């Protein structure tokens, strides 16, 4: 990094350290205030959020209810800033006290099969808590992530995620590392609920009643390695962060590879949708999940 980037990086780290001193209740209050300001000025992402909620909940909510939900989405997303800062002030040995953890036996059962474990999640709650998984499970995690263009943010985020024991695998050319990780009996973490722009790498699944372009990667890895895929979701409940491991998703094999990729990818997204419906204000509706459309709609 340049000298200017190093200075900026130091300022960022110092600022986040100060935020980490705030109490959880103060962090939630400031997140709510910041989120409302953000909701008022960010017209682009407000429009995306309201449009997506309009499609997803047209039959269940009127426009005012969806507007209120959209504002809570911004509030909850802003709250992540303060949660992130506080999380990294906690001793990893205290994670079991910090989180409400359920279903850990599901991960242990999958891990006992000896084929490694694919843990997948979505942008629900505070997905950055996923970096705690190595300490919580006792199994080394390698997390596949998309690099950030800003060298300052890339350096900061990678350092913070790695500080809890996770290995970080840049998305570009990560496949060989993923296979090696699973072959060692370790765990791989993937977030799979974002729009996939590359049609040759994606399939269209049903997501909130609309076709959504989803990356084939998770299904391909599971079919090639036979490693169990375990959904793991984070969400806030009663003011406390929850981390829930669900039972592994049964892998469907028919011998038709393209069909198997589609039906397994659909199964993964059905689990994520179910949890979003339980905590709709905690999902990243600001992301244009349905941006890529099937060719017949273009």
Domain that holds residue 117: 3-297
The model's pTM is 0.93
pLDDT band at 148 (very low <50, low <70, confident <90, very high): confident
Express each pLDDT in 33-65 by its tens digit: 999 999 999 999 999 999 999 999 999 999 999
pLDDT of residue 10: 85
Express each pLDDT in 183-236 by its tens digit: 999 999 999 999 999 888 999 999 999 999 999 999 999 999 999 999 999 999
Query: Above pLDDT 90, what percent of the chain?
Result: 78
> Looking at the 3D structure of the chain, how many domains does it have?
1
Residue 96 has pLDDT above 80, yes or no: yes
Secondary structure in 3-state letters for the chain: CCHHHHHHHHHHHHHHHHHCCCCHHHHHHHHHHHHHHHHHHCHHHHHHHHHHHHHHCCCCCCHHHHHHHHHHHHHHHHHHHHHHHHHCCCCHHHHHHHCEEECHHHHHHHHCCCCCEEEEECCECCHHHHHHHHHHHCCCEEEEECCCCCHHHHHHHHHHHHCCCCEEEECCCCHHHHHHHHHCCCEEEEECCCCCCCHHHEEEEEECCEEEEEECHHHHHHHHHCCCEEEEEEEEECCEEEEEECCCECCCCCCCHHHHHHHHHHHHHHHHHHHHHHCHHHECCCCCCCCCCCHHHC
pLDDT band at 279 (very low <50, low <70, confident <90, very high): very high
């Amino acid at each position: 990094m340049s000298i200017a980037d190093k200075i900026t990086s130091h300022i960022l780290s110092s600022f986040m350290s100060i935020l980490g001193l705030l109490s959880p209740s103060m962090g939630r209050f400031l997140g709510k205030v910041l989120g409302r300001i953000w909701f008022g000025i960010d017209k682009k992402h407000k429009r995306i959020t309201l449009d997506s909620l309009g499609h997803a909940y047209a039959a269940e909510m009127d426009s005012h209810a969806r507007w209120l939900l959209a504002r809570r989405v911004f509030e909850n997303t802003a709250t992540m800033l303060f949660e992130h800062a506080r999380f990294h002030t906690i001793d990893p040995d205290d994670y079991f006290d910090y989180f409400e953890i359920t279903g850990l036996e599901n991960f242990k059962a999958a891990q006992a099969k000896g084929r490694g474990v694919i843990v997948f999640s979505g942008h629900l709650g505070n997905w950055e808590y996923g970096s705690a998984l190595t300490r919580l499970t006792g199994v080394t995690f390698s997390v596949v992530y998309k690099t950030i263009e800003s060298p300052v943010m890339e350096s900061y985020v990678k350092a913070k995620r790695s500080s809890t024991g996770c290995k970080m695998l840049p998305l570009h050319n990560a496949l060989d590392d993923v296979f090696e990780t699973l072959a060692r009996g370790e765990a791989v973490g993937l977030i799979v609920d974002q729009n996939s722009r590359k049609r040759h790498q994606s399939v269209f699944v049903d997501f909130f009643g609309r076709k959504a372009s989803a990356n084939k990667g998770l299904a391909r890895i599971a079919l090639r390695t036979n490693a169990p895929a375990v959904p793991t979701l984070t969400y806030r409940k009663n003011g406390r962060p929850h981390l829930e491991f669900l039972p592994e998703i049964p892998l469907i094999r028919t011998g038709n590879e393209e069909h198997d990729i589609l039906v397994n990818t659909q199964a993964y997204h059905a689990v994520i949708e179910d949890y979003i419906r339980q905590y709709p204000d905690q999902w990243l509706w600001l992301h244009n999940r349905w941006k890529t459309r099937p060719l017949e709609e273009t």
